[in-house]
Amino acid sequence: MKKTWMLRQLIQSKKMAFIMEAHNGLSAKIVQESGFKGIWASGLSMSAAMGVRDNNEASWTQVMDVLEFMSDATSIPILLDGDTGYGNFNNARRLVKKLEQRQIAGVCIEDKMFPKTNSFINAESQPLADIDEFCGKIKSMKDAQMDEDFVVVARVEAFITGRGQEEAFKRAEHYRQSGADAILIHSKRSDISEIESFMKEWGDRLPIVVVPTTYYKTPTSRLQELGVSLVIWANHNLRASIEAMQRISSQILQDANLLRVEGSVAPLEEVFRLQDAEELKLAEQRYLPFL
Ligand code: SPV
Ligand code: MG
């Protein structure tokens, strides 16, 4: 089954779906094994894992290299957080071409300016993209895709930057008319009032994607009632790994031995299993002479 088709089904199905953040080949594989049907290649998480900021400090080809490992390690679809498309329409349409070559199922672009800043940092002072310019970008991406099922999600940052419902709705509607396959409506509030008012007005014009990082206390059943199509758990593997690595590193430093940590980390056998070391053993028996 094509990954693009699988992502399209997740977004278009009546049943609300969930995708989970990954930021490298290993975390992508773990997301798949845990049972998720799709992966969010988070810009925040990939940049943090590379040791840089979520401000397009990593080049788009460096992001592409990470994606290639994630895609090779998995068979479920990946939705890339493509930030602003890394430039103007021309950069964004070339991005689509290169993503398709690596079997990435879709990309989400946000209506901010390059270089972007994470939505939870100085949100109110972040400039938004010009609507017509952003619409041209969406059109160029849809025109560039070779696979009809490749998904382009347009992300509306109006609420994030302190603008209201009217601006959010106007932008979403323009992006819909420009050919976006879904709208990601983002909010930094700890309640879902913005998402709620948007959904009530939006109806079922186009599938809606949300990222409940800050309004996680809202039961997900409420999002389903409102008609949300796709929920992104955006950064929790990264945050889990930070906490685990900080704990283990300081404990080993303090103890100068491994006695207290050995039982609380994954056994080496688990690392080898995740790398599929067994397959290489079998291949060697088949292909290497004199074994
Ligand atoms: C990301 O995961 O990088 C996102 C979601 O874009 S957020 O961090 O909420 O902006
Ligand atoms: Mg991001």
Please spell the DSSP secondary structure of 248-277, one letter per residue. HHHHHHHHSSSTTTGGGS--HHHHHHHHTH
Scanning the structure block, which residue is given the tokens 């347009």? 154
Q: What is the largest CA-CA distance in the chain?
A: 72
Q: What does residue 115 show for φ and ψ, rounded to 5 degrees? A: -75, 140
Q: How far apart are CA 64 and CA 43, in angstroms?
A: 11
Averaged pLDDT of the chain: 97
Element (H, E) at 156: strand 151-156
Angle (deg, nearest 10), helices 131-144 and 165-177: 30
Instruction: For 230-258, write each residue's pLDDT tens digit.
Output: 999 999 999 999 999 999 999 999 999 99
Using pLDDT thresholds of 50, 70 and 90, give the confidence band for residue 289.
confident
Q: Write out residues with Cβ below 6 Å of ligand 1.
A: 42-44, 81, 118-119, 211, 213, 234-235
Q: Which stretch of DSSP H or E encloses residue 78?
A: strand 78-81
Render pLDDT for 77-116 as a digit per residue (tens, 0 to 9): 999 999 999 999 999 999 999 999 999 999 999 999 999 9
pLDDT of residue 290: 77
Catalytic residues: 54
Note the pLDDT of residue 3: 98
**Nearest one of 238, 233, 240, 230 to 207, comparing CA atoms:** 230
Q: Give SS3 for 140.
A: helix
* Nearest atom, ligand 1, residue 46 CA: 3
Please compute Rg for the chain using Cα positions.
Answer: 20
Q: Indicate whether 291 pLDDT > 80.
A: no
Q: Is there a contact between 108 and 85 (Cβ–Cβ < 8 Å)?
A: no
For residues 183-210, give the mean pLDDT.
98
DSSP β-ladder status, 208-210 and 230-233: parallel
Task: Return the best residue to mutate from 47, 118, 214 for the ligand 1 pocket (most ligand atoms within 8 A of CB).
Answer: 118
Phi, psi of 117 (to 5 degrees): -125, 150
> What's the gap in Å between 229 CA and the centre of ligand 1?
18
pLDDT for the residue 165: 98
> pLDDT band for position 205 (50/70/90)?
very high
| pLDDT tens digits along 50-86 | 999 999 999 999 999 999 999 999 999 999 999 999 9
Q: Tell me, what's the ipTM? A: 0.99
Q: What is the mean pLDDT of residues 168-181?
A: 98
